[in-house]
Chains A and B, each alone.
Chain A
Amino acid sequence: MITQHDIVIVGAGLAGLRAAVECVDQADVAVVSKVFPTRSHSGAAQGGITASLGNEEEDHWEWHLFDTVKGSDYLGDQDAVEIMVRDAPRVIYELEHMGVPFSRTPEGKIAQRNFGGHTRDYGKKPVKRACYAADRTGRVVLDTLYDQCLRHQVKFYSENYVLSLVFDGKRCAGVVTYDLATGELHLLQAKAVLLATGGCGRIYKTTSNGFASTGDGIHLAYQSGIPLEDMEFIQFHPTGLYPLGILVSEAARGEGGFLRNRLGERFMERYAPMVKDLAARDVVSRAILTEIREGKGISGRGYVHLDLTHLGEEKIQERLWEIASFVRIYLGIDPVYDPIPVQPTCHYVMGGIPTDVDGRVLMDEKGTIAQGLFAAGECACVSVHGANRLGCNSLLDLLVFGRRSGLAMKQAISKVEHGTLTKDSLRATEEKIKKFFNVRGKEKIGEIRQRIQLLMMEKGSVFRNEEGLKKGIEEIRSLMEHYKNIGAVDKRKAFNFELMEAMELGHQLSLSEVILFSALHRRESRGAHYREDFPVRADRYFLKHTLVFQTPKGPDIRYKPVKITRFQPEARVY
């Protein structure tokens, strides 16, 4: 079946929904999502959204700009960061007007809290910049935007899995979806397609990401000839619950919690004398793992303690209710009285599909625009986060660039007509599915996935080196061979999750190769990318963005310059 819409948005997280809300007044908009919209992983965001409102103390967008650039280890494009931080207060007020139930100050303004790397006066001391609704910020924003979409009659294709992008010549002209409920394939034709498919944290064993974060959109773009930017930069959040990896938001430290090692020492004082536990995430994650490597993990094991016991029950219940509930349910301890065992957990991908500041996808280092294709949110790389994202800057990125993509798409579609797509566009995808059902392979999806996840933890997480990365790439390539032999057991149509997982696994494998490959070629340490064999930042050689292209011979690497406007790179100390 072929159905036409002006705009098709893939992804119902905050990026996709914000874009939908923006363009639904002038376009026929459809949102496709593999999970029901409010199950999108944006709902798991806990801590908040940054904006220099100055509701709690003096703040300025220039400070926010500096912190973001420094946090990015000078790899963020400063023109884009400036657009984001200047737009931030407007974004927050707009959400508030839509109904987001933010927590409040005694004067009735939106409350703000501390978050890692956000400081006053260019790094002097922490500043309260993150707007929040207790520790369920993402969830309430997601609900509010979803409700806005219902109100404005956005068309949803829920539990529809996008299998491929469709091109009409060079123009992206739609997507092929697999309807989970019926098992049918549909071709959704569009004048503009937005990828807002989120991150790929599920490539790693220990992660704060949901099961759906398999990087589908990122890889669909890569397969279609779009390069991937800065994929070596994978953020490990310092405080995942041990051993599950479920996130304990930085809000816990923002509200005054701190980390301790086996000796009870507040070790962050040594690593970041100025802002201590509120340093940027890459710094804190490395500090924790260094302590553990030196035998100072709790009981000599792979975790340290996050201590909230001095905050008192009332504050914990009021501001950190969700987190406290996770700790109680999953560890059976009470953070009011007991320190929480934590370890770094894979959290966020800074890299992704290269875009300009209006969500237009870029095809090469010269900035050639891919017609009809847009990207926003975690799957995109604008780049505002560079080598390391600051806490609470992601939701801001989703909202600012989700909206801008919506505006740009509205403009773009006014100049194009639907092309003539035939059922041929479906055929290639149909063949692929048929093949999957017919292969009598012996390999199991679950096993291959487990091997990728372990391998990526070992070779491609916080600490990396040449030998490990090379070996990792080899192993991924051998797993790709195994992947060709996975067999389908479930041949039924309705809710055949096996098929979806098989497709996701293909994305995960290929993205793992890109991550390791990009990391191998960046022979320096910057932000979240730390090379034991090249432990310092080398601006002379690597103050540039990585672009990896898919070629018949495997990944090919090129680079493009970083946009620097106000802040020249300096040593990064916290």
Chain B
Amino acid sequence: MLIKLKVFRFDPEKEEKPTYQTFEIEADPMDRLLDCLNRIHWEQDPTLSFRMSCGHGVCGSDGMRINGICGLACQKLVKSFKEEVLIEPLPVFKVVKDLVVDLGPFFEKYNSIKPYLTTKTSPPDQERKQSPEEHKIFEEAIRCILCACCTASCPVNQNKETEGYVGPAALVRAFRYLFDSRDEASEERVALLDQKDGAGGCQTLWKCTEVCPKEIPVTKQIGRIKKRIYDAR
């Protein structure tokens, strides 16, 4: 089928403002949108820039705004669109070129929540024990691939006044460690998260949950963090 991709183009070094360029390609209905972008890049316009890596929704490189909704280009099939698809970079972040955005601030926030297991007791010779039930609590959270779709979709992050909010992706990772039975730093974690721009920044608007390509119940997990903070007060 013939499909039109209306693509956001911008080279901040050379251009004052972005433009949109429409490409037409003949695609199989089962093709991924990423396949279409690749074919444009390979066959029509090598100057089109976008990120990609694994092509099947595990690396998190190709997050972008597709018809207004953030998602992974490799997870969307041509058949689910009518004639024209609007393709834009993730909002919230600064555009570096075309669909490539600067994720530096995203990873800084991620890093700020101390994304590593912290233990104080020395480990046993073998594994630390953890029951399947304890593991299950964060099983969904470890699906996160850091694609930044949730943070880019969050109205709190989108709002200039509240953009300091650490954002849903960092909070999912914080949840994963806060609720890991092996972690021994919950007090510090709670203190770190109990801030205006921490879990308190979430206004329960559910956008993150709606867009998550890995179906993580993001808002619910942030809610559980908030409850944990509340209980500790």
- CB pair A110–B127 under 8 Å, yes or no, is yes
- CB-contacts of B83-124 with A (<8 A): 96-98, 100, 103, 111, 115-117, 119, 123
- A170 CB–B CB distance under 8 Å: no
B49 touches A497 (CB 8 A): yes
Whether A109 and B127, one on each chain, are in contact in the complex, defined by CB atoms closer than 8 angstroms, is yes
Quick one: CB contact mask for A137-177 with B, threshold 8 Å, 1 for yes? Answer: 00110011001101100000000000000000000000000
Q: Is B59's CB under 8 angstroms from A148's CB?
A: no
Q: Which of B160-196 contact A (CB under 8 A)?
A: 176-177, 180, 182-183
B115 to chain A: closest CB distance in Å? Answer: 5
Known: A93-B125, A139-B58. A99 touches B43 (CB 8 A): no
For the complex, count residues of A whose C-beta is within 8 A of B.
Answer: 60
Are B56 and A326 touching (Cβ within 8 A)? yes
Q: Does the CB pair A490–B128 fall under 8 Å? A: no
Counting CB contacts under 8 A, is B129 at the interface? yes
By beta carbon, the residue of chain A nearest B49 is A495
Contact A101 B142 (CB under 8 A): yes
Sort chain B's interface into a size bin: 35 or more
In-complex Cβ contact of B127 among A93, A147, A148 (8 A): A93
Interface string of A473-493 (1 = CB under 8 A from B): 000000000000000111011
Chain A residues positioned under 8 Å from B158 (CB to CB):
none
Q: Is A246 positioned at the interface, with any CB of B under 8 Å from its CB?
A: yes
Q: Which of B132-140, B202-210, B222-230 contacts its partner? A: B132-140
Contact B132 A492 (CB under 8 A): no
Residues of B within 8 A of A330 (CB): 30, 32, 56, 77
A211-B55 in contact given A136-B142, A151-B116, A498-B47 (Cβ < 8 Å): yes
Q: A329-B75, A490-B47 are in contact. Are A495 and B135 (CB under 8 A)?
A: no
Chain B contacts of A490 at CB under 8 A? 46-47
- With contact pairs A96-B128, A329-B75, A495-B96 given, residues A134 and B54 touching in the complex (Cβ less than 8 Å): no
A529 to B50, CA, bound (A): 37
Q: Which of B49, B54, B58, B135 contacts A103 (CB 8 A)?
A: B135
A14 located at the interface, meaning its Cβ lies under 8 Å from any Cβ of chain B in the complex: no
Cross-chain contact A210 with B116 (CB below 8 angstroms)? no
Q: A36-B61, A44-B59, A210-B54 are in contact. Are A97 and B123 (CB under 8 A)?
A: yes
Q: Are B55 and A210 in contact (CB under 8 A)?
A: yes
B145 within 8 A of A: yes
**Across the interface, which residues of A come within 8 angstroms of B97, CB to CB?**
492, 494-495
**In whole angstroms, what is the CA distance A325 to B140 when docked?**
14
The answer to whether the Cβ of A41 comes within 8 Å of any Cβ in the partner chain is: yes
| Chain B contacts for A451, CB-based, 8 A | none
Bound Cα distance A495, B77 (Å):
26
Residue of B77, B115, B130 near A150 (CB, 8 A) is B115
Q: How far is the CA of A279 from the CA of B200 in the complex (A)?
A: 53
**Given contact pairs A101-B138, A490-B47, A246 touches B125 in the complex (Cβ within 8 A):** no
Contact of B42 among A40, A150, A444 (CB under 8 A): A444
Nearest CB of B to A160, in Å: 14
A38 near B146: Cβ-Cβ < 8 Å: yes
Between B41, B52, B53, B180, the greatest number of chain A beta carbons within 10 A of the residue's beta carbon is seen for B53
Of the candidates A41, A101, A106, the one whose C-beta lies within 8 Å of that of B53 is A41
Interface residues of A in 16-70 (CB under 8 A from B): 35-36, 38-41, 43-44
Contacts of B138 in A (CB 8 A): 101
Q: In the complex, what distance in Å separates the CA atom of A110 from the CA atom of B60?
A: 27
- Near A by CB (< 8 A), chain B positions 54-72 give 54-61
A44–B54 CB distance below 8 A: yes
A40 / chain B contacts, CB cutoff of 8 Å: 53, 59
Cβ–Cβ contact B59 & A329, under 8 A: no
Indicate if the CB atoms of B55 and A497 lie closer than 8 Å: no
In the assembly, what is the distance between CA of A36 and CA of B58, in Å?
Answer: 13
Contact B53 A104 (CB under 8 A): no
- Taking CB atoms, residues of chain B closer than 8 Å to A96 are 127-128
Among residues of A, the one whose C-beta sits closest to the C-beta of B133 is A104
Residue in B11, B13, B32, B142 whose Cβ sees the most chain A Cβ within 10 Å: B142
B117 near A104 with CB under 8 A, answer no
Task: Please report which residues of chain A, range 87-145, place their CB below 8 angstroms from some CB of chain B when the two chains form the complex.
Answer: 92-93, 96-99, 101-110, 133-134, 136, 139-140, 143-144
A104 engages B58 (CB within 8 Å) = no
The minimal Cβ–Cβ distance linking B198 to chain A, given in whole angstroms, is 19
- A41 close to B77 (CB less than 8 A): no
Could you list 15 examples of A-B contacts with CB < 8 Å?
A43-B59, A98-B117, A99-B183, A101-B138, A103-B135, A104-B130, A106-B132, A139-B145, A211-B53, A322-B143, A329-B77, A445-B46, A489-B47, A492-B14, A495-B96
